[in-house]
């Protein structure tokens, strides 16, 4: 005679086998959408720029990282947000932003840093992404230089990339 835990396991496995065809036929919510012919445009790619709320300049090198950092003014952050939305909109046709609180470990001080951030996000076609990403990367490197950041965060299709800002001696479009 089968023990009750084993019977329960067999019953659960039988139920799962019955559900498998339903799961495999609707493996993605996308499969529930009307065919592409009824969809105006599919924006299957996503780009997000993370804007930190701190500035870290030094008197001798205004674009170098130093400590302590201080909060950027709300008008400066609005300006950076608006510039980022302008870049995203010109590359991908639009964008939006939301505020979040983030944490990161500083390489310079080996301390945990908590700060408010603004994330500006846009969706795009593959062609728009291929054309627009170089401009977005240039923009994020300039933002990092202006804010004196060690690194800037860029998310592309769900993958987070850390981007080194331009150094104080860099000109737009050159690698440092």
pLDDT at site 148:
85
HSE, CB side, 13 Å, CA atoms: give it for residue 36. 4
Provide, rounded to the nearest whole percent, the portion of the chain with pLDDT above 70: 67
Would you place residue 35 in the very low, low, confident or very high pLDDT band (cuts 50, 70, 90)? low
Does residue 2 register a pLDDT over 80? Answer: no
pLDDT at site 11:
43
Rounded to whole angstroms, how far apart are CA atoms 20 and 36? 26
Rounded to whole angstroms, how far apart are CA atoms 60 and 116? 27
Tell me the sheet residues that pair with 117: 52, 100
Would you place residue 13 in the very low, low, confident or very high pLDDT band (cuts 50, 70, 90)? very low
Would you place residue 36 in the very low, low, confident or very high pLDDT band (cuts 50, 70, 90)? low
pLDDT at site 17:
40
Residue that is written with structure tokens 């932003």 in the block: 97
Residue bearing the bigger pLDDT, 117 or 176 = 117
pLDDT at site 57:
62
Highest-confidence segment of 13-17, 39-43, 108-112: 108-112
**Which pTM was predicted?**
0.69
- The answer to whether the CB of 172 falls within 8 A of the CB of 138 is yes
Task: Return the C-alpha torsion angle 148, 134, 136, 138, nearest 10.
Answer: 20
HSE, CB side, 13 Å, CA atoms: give it for residue 53. 18
pLDDT at site 25:
47
pLDDT at site 115:
84
- The answer to whether the CB of 104 falls within 8 A of the CB of 145 is no
Would you place residue 113 in the very low, low, confident or very high pLDDT band (cuts 50, 70, 90)? confident
Does residue 98 register a pLDDT over 80? Answer: yes
pLDDT at site 1:
47
Q: What is the mean pLDDT of residues 115-134?
A: 95
Nearest one of 77, 106, 93, 91 to 138, comparing CA atoms: 91
């Amino acid at each position: 005679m089968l023990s009750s835990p084993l019977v329960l396991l067999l019953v659960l496995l039988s139920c799962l086998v019955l559900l498998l065809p339903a799961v495999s036929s609707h493996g993605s919510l996308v499969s529930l959408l009307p065919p592409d012919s009824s969809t105006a445009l599919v924006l299957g790619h996503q780009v997000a720029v993370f804007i930190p709320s701190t500035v870290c300049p030094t008197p001798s090198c205004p674009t170098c990282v130093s400590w302590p950092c201080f909060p950027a003014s709300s008008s400066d952050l609005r300006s950076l947000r608006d510039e980022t939305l302008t870049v995203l909109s010109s590359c991908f046709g639009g964008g939006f932003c939301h505020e979040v609180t983030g944490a990161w470990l500083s390489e310079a001080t080996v301390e945990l840093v908590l700060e408010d951030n603004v994330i500006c996000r846009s969706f795009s076609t593959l062609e728009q992404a291929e054309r627009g990403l170089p401009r977005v990367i240039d923009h994020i490197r300039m933002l990092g230089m202006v804010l004196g950041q060690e690194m800037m965060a860029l998310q592309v299709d769900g993958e987070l990339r850390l981007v080194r800002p331009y150094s104080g001696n860099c000109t737009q479009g050159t690698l440092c």
